[in-house]
Every structure is written in C-alpha cells, then in structure tokens.
Amino acid sequence: MAEDYDATEASKVQVRRQLSLCLTVVQVHDSFEQNQPKVEAVLSLHSCLKDFTASELLDEAYCSQCKSLKPASKKMDLWRVPPLLVIQLKRFHYTATCRKKLRNFVQFPLKGLDLQPYLVRTTQDAGLKYWQFLGGKLATQEYPAVYDLYAVVNHIGVLGGGHYVATVFSESDKRWKCFNDHLCRDIDEKDVVSPSAYILFYIRRDMKALPVHEVFPVNSDAAGPALSDDDLAALLHEPDASRCVIS
C-alpha cells in the first residue's frame, strides 16, 4: 500500500536540505571571531604564583663579565616570607594599541595560603647557587610560611574609572565587613572571594596572636639597621668573579 503524501512534511525536509547546503558554504571572517565576547578563564592564586616563579628563557642576555650576549634563564623566587603579605593581581593590561581591564575570576584561599613551595631556601639544592653568590648560610625557616586572609581591596568598574570597596575581617566579632565609602555592613564569608578582587592582604599565622600595635608599630624604622662596609662586602662577595655569571 502506498504511503500518504504529506506536503507539509515534505516542504520541511526540503527547507532543511536547503539550510544544510547554505550553511556549508558560509565563510566566517577572522574579524568576526576576534570581536566575539570572550569567556574569561577562572584562575587560582596558586596558578598565578606558579607562573610568577616559572623559569623564563632569554635568547640574548648581556653578561657584564664577558661583555657578550648569551642564552640564559630568568626565575623569580622567594628568599624569605614577610609577616604581612600583600598581593596585587594584574587587573589592568596595557599594549601599544589598546588598554583594558582583566576580569578573570581568581580563586584565592581565605585560610591556609602556603608559600612553602615557592621558597628557594627550603632545600639545599635549590638554594645552593644563592648561597654561593651571597656568601651566606642556608638557614632553616623558624616559622611556617602559611597565611590567612584579613582584607581585600576590590575594583569595580572599567579601566579609566570605577570604584574601590574594601573587605576586612574583624577580630572583635569574627565577621567580615564591607566598607563602601562611609557605609559599613556585614557580609558572608562566601562573598569575600569575588571577580572584583584587586589587592589581597594576608597575615602570617604566627603573627595573628600579636596585638595590632606590635604588628603595625607606629615608630618603627622602616629602613631597618644599615649594613656596615664589611657586611656589604661579604654579602656581595663572589669566589670566582672572572667567570661568566650567566653560563
């Protein structure tokens, strides 16, 4: 028995075939892809620290000893950890042709930020070349390199303007406070980590038990004690200064 002919269904099939044929010949210009809104990747503070301390290859680095250009590598390491740690996230990007605000969501811990993996003094092998260059000793860290967050500065808005809002942990009632100009209100702990975070303030755990006037002394000498000529000479002494310092 012959099947009934459905003109409506047949027309739909024909339209789908035409659309399929049309879609196969459409070309997308490169400028279309470039102008599409991009989804900003979610990052973590530890991934940022890993990138900050990663080795960078330099094709032509100038050696002050042999007066020539040589291949080298550059690496940033932490020699010691401070009692108070301030981390500024790179939110503003400038190039020769444009400038923009980076809106990546950076996940950062409220408690237990461990800087031990980024310390060069934790192992003899990692700190050996620094020990040879500085002429000093590799000392064992007497305090843990673990930090807890106590404040955040948020930037809200665009690159050329915007507004700053501070979030601070109150030791008196153990609550997070949001300071917006003259206004202050309590916020939930889950709202502290936000895409607007710009500057992070951490305190080392062994410092948390100290009163505020000891953590932030009013009449402290910011420069610290001056180095004597003998101390400076010992600090900069290098056993073999004639060799290339890059190779």
Which tops the pLDDT comparison, 56 or 151? 151
Which tops the pLDDT comparison, 34 or 49? 49
State the Cα–Cα distance between residues 29 and 232, nearest whole angstrom.
62
- pLDDT for 23 equals 45
Say whether pLDDT at 162 is over 60: yes
Give residue-wise pLDDT tens across range 68-106: 888 888 888 887 788 899 999 988 888 778 788 888 899
Structure tokens at 191: 């709202």
pLDDT band at residue 24 under the 50/70/90 scheme = very low
State the Cα–Cα distance between residues 117 and 59, nearest whole angstrom.
27
pLDDT band at residue 208 under the 50/70/90 scheme = confident
Residue 48 contacts residue 106 (beta carbons within 8 Å): yes
* Average pLDDT along the chain: 75
State the Cα–Cα distance between residues 81 and 72, nearest whole angstrom.
27
- How many helices and strands in the chain, by DSSP H and E? 6, 13
Which tops the pLDDT comparison, 95 or 122? 95
Among residues 84, 54, 90, the alpha carbon closest in space to that of 204 is found at 84
Q: Record the pTM.
A: 0.64
What are the extents of the domains in the chain?
A: 40-216+227-236
* CATH architecture of the domain formed by 40-216+227-236: Alpha-Beta Complex (3.90)
State the Cα–Cα distance between residues 204 and 148, nearest whole angstrom.
7
Report the amino acid identity of residue 227.
Answer: L
